[in-house]
Amino acid sequence: MTIATKKTTRRHPVAPEDDDLLRAVFDPQISPDAKRVAYVVRSNEPKKNEYQMSIWVVPLDGKQPARRFTFGTKDHAPRWSPDGRSLAFLADRGEKTQIFLAPLDGGESRQLTTTPHGVNELVWSPDGKRIAYTARVGEWKDARDRSPAERAAPRVIKHLLYRFDGIGYLDDRRMHIFTVDAESGEARQITDGDWYDQQPSWSRDGKWIVFSSDRESARHDRPNGLGRSDVWVVASAGGRARKLTRSRGAAVFPAFSRDGRLVAFQGHENGDAGFVKNFHVMVVPTTGGTAPRSISAGVEVLRGAPLRWLPDGKTVVFLVTERGTQTLYRAGVANGSTSKMLGGDRHIQQFSLSRAADQIAFTASWPSQPPELYARRLGSGARERNLSHANAAFMSVAELGTTRRMTHRAPDGLEIESFVLYPVGYKAGRRYPLVLYIHGGPHMQHPPPFAMRQESLAGAGYLVLMPNPRGSEGYGETFRGMCVRDWGGKDYEDLMTAVDALVQRGVADPERLFVTGYSYGGFMSAWVVGHTGRFRAAIIGAPIADHISRRGTWDCLGADEVEVGSPWENLEEVWQRSPIAHLPHCTTPVLIEHHEGDLRCPIGQGDEVFQTLKLLGKEVEYLRYPGGFHNPDSWPPSQNVDYMRRQIAWFDGHGGRVRAERASRDRARTAKASRNGLTGTHTVYTVRLDGRR
């Protein structure tokens, strides 16, 4: 099966409804013979209001189109057997995610595991006889399996770390490593204990498994507990694990060198302050007794991205974040010398190397290009090939804006870089309504790989300004730490002078300025409206509004001490750094967006902003979406489409760009969407000025 493209003679600027055509492409895996690539495609299923995942396979040379390999709705994590004759993958074909095995020469896939709580990740042994995987163990029951009395029983909380965004409550289940025989399906538990073991990787001889785990005695009561871990090694037959690192920070995605003498991993030794410091690629001897050594000190390693050893055993390949992009680097183990392998203005998100390391498959995207799977032969002059064409239908109907870099000097002389998304049909000499779009973190970066929220604004005729103020990642560790204990200080000045730069260049209309952001961007949007009246309207997404009330209600408790400070030490400073303290000065109409299931920036923060502005007699509305975590990937498709419509309507209704032809087009699209079942499948509470819903 190939991906069908919709033939049309007319393209239109991106609109919210186009989100249903967009495909996410990820997790590329080159086959052992370097002839094929398996990967995952995620798509919207509007009628069910959910995302679906399937596995596709395509020839690495790109001479044949991709074909869909699995036809489940939740199939992912494809992994080739070492002989290339079968493909293991994770799928939910009933109640829990399990490992399935599909032969490449035809035939039905078969279920390999039956774990009661589901499987999380898998990796083949080098000889192809076993698969290591992680799964939760414990006596926990699904709510439907509990008696009425069990459902009514309280949660007994004994530890500081008891819930986490994206997971929910941390019950008595613990993640451990198992192996399963690829033929018989016989499983064996390799690790156990009151901790979480994850990210297993085999030694080349199959005798050992290295993994990441936090087994320190204070693990459950450490304020930033889930940000700490060590590298451990255990015999693949089971037994006592041995620690290789020093419990001084994070140590994730470990991998053995070819000769088994070293383990490379991603991490740091900066304790709870690690989230304001660079991640490194580090190596440590498997014999232990030696401190880990960084081999990537000159670059900023992308967090949470696995690394790969080259066959020479002397080089590690990994992803780096730099100046708004994500690029591929290599580092020499002996001397820590680094060099770029693949770059450009794009986000390389995941990659897979052939066994000979002469070919690479990778997924990449950029604001002007939705995610796709690419391949190339490594070496000078090699040409890249788009293997997936997953978003051909989207690109056949949607016309995207153009993204350009811009730099300006902050008041203290520091150079600040921004990315400006120009609307379709942009004409020099005209002034456009501008939306200042502030990223989260604060230690994240613009631009996003491909974001419909920004693209839909550009499609509606808005100029979208995406600055990287001090504190953003990708500009070095010193720059990354510049906003610490200064939220709302010089980072705010960086944002305002970025707006000034576009106004002074004759691009942005100073009478039609708007602001929005999410998470830290929500904090800063709330800060902005309390400190200036220059914006016609604001949308505050999942804000951090009150540093005092948020303390103890979110899931990253250790970040407060580093980023803002302790209220017990300086209550007035912490209060003055809270946007809620300055909202009496707000003259800007505000729309608040928040999800009720958010544990990173709890819903109470949105409540505080709404109630404060309402009591002060300000113009404010509240989108209180049911469910969801902080991560937008946890939201159903209908909520994303709904929000994009509302953000355009909010800015349009407060002096933004309104064109009759666009209004007519949107009405037609909305009617069509309704007929196709794209609306009416979700619940969104909008609190109006009169207090009714």
DSSP state of 347: E
* pLDDT value for 543: 97
pLDDT band at 657 (very low <50, low <70, confident <90, very high): low
**Global pTM value:** 0.92
Average pLDDT, stretch 260-280? 91
Q: How many CB atoms lie within 10 A of CB 239?
A: 10
Q: What gap in Å lies between CA 245 and CA 348, rounded to an integer?
A: 29
Task: Answer yes or no: are the C-beta atoms of 400 and 424 closer than 8 Å.
Answer: yes
Torsion sign, CA atoms 346, 347, 352, 357:
positive
Task: Give percent of the chain above pLDDT 90.
Answer: 80
pLDDT in tens, 90-116: 999 987 999 999 998 877 899 999 999
* pLDDT value for 664: 40
How many residues comprise the chain? 693
* pLDDT value for 181: 98
Alpha helices in 430-587 (DSSP H): 452-459, 477-480, 490-504, 520-529, 547-550, 557-563, 571-576
* pLDDT value for 680: 31
pLDDT in tens, 121-179: 999 999 999 999 999 998 888 878 889 998 899 989 888 888 888 888 888 889 999 99
- Give the angle 38-44-45 at the CA atoms, nearest 5°: 115
The domains of the chain are located at 399-687
If you average pLDDT over every residue of the chain, what do you get?
A: 91
Helix (H), strand (E), coil (C) string for 284-334: EECCCCCCCEECCCCCCECCCCCCEECCCCCEEEEEEEECCEEEEEEEECC
Do you find a cis peptide bond into 510, omega within 30 degrees of 0? no
Residues 6 or more apart whose CB falls under 8 angstroms from that of 581 comprise 530, 575
* pLDDT value for 293: 96
* pLDDT value for 661: 39
Average pLDDT, stretch 503-526? 98
- Given the DSSP bridges, would you call strands 620-625 and 590-595 parallel, antiparallel or unpaired? parallel
> Per-residue pLDDT for 679 more than 60?
no
Average pLDDT, stretch 409-423? 98
DSSP three-state, residue 607: helix
Q: What own/partner pairs with CB < 8 Å and gap ≥ 24 does 62-67 have?
A: 62/375, 62/385, 62/386, 62/387, 65/2, 65/3, 65/389, 66/2, 66/3, 66/373, 66/387, 66/388, 66/389, 66/390, 67/1, 67/2
Q: What gap in Å lies between CA 474 and CA 659, rounded to an integer?
A: 38
Q: What gap in Å lies between CA 32 and CA 354, rounded to an integer?
A: 7
Q: In whole angstroms, how far apart are CA 605 and each of 1, 592, 593, 646, 649?
A: 48, 10, 11, 21, 24
Q: What gap in Å lies between CA 103 and CA 506, rounded to an integer?
A: 61
Average pLDDT, stretch 4-18? 74
Do you find a cis peptide bond into 311, omega within 30 degrees of 0? no
pLDDT in tens, 386-408: 999 999 999 999 999 999 999 99
* DSSP assignment string, 61-130: T-SS--EE----SBEEEEEE-TTSSEEEEEEESSSSEEEEEEETTSS--EE----TT-EEEEEE-TTSSE
Give me the numbers of helices (H) and strands (E) for the chain, helices first please: 12, 41
pLDDT in tens, 32-87: 999 999 999 999 999 999 999 999 999 999 999 999 999 999 999 999 999 999 99
DSSP three-state, residue 594: strand
Average pLDDT, stretch 410-432? 96
Place of tokens 């393209």: 11
Q: How many CB atoms lie within 10 A of CB 156?
A: 6
Q: In whole angstroms, how far apart are CA 616 and each of 303, 510, 580, 584?
A: 42, 27, 12, 7
> Per-residue pLDDT for 223 more than 90?
no
Q: What gap in Å lies between CA 689 and CA 224, rounded to an integer?
A: 39
* pLDDT value for 225: 56
Tell me which fold the domain 399-687 belongs to.
Rossmann fold (3.40.50)
* pLDDT value for 226: 62
Q: What gap in Å lies between CA 412 and CA 406, rounded to an integer?
A: 18
Residue 551 tokens, joined: 């303390």
Residue 130 tokens, joined: 């076993």
> Per-residue pLDDT for 574 more than 50?
yes
The alpha carbons of the chain give a radius of gyration, in whole angstroms, of 25
Place of tokens 């192996």: 179
Torsion sign, CA atoms 640, 643, 649, 650:
negative
pLDDT band at 219 (very low <50, low <70, confident <90, very high): confident
Comparing 368-372, 411-415, 593-597, 666-670, the range with the smallest average pLDDT is 666-670
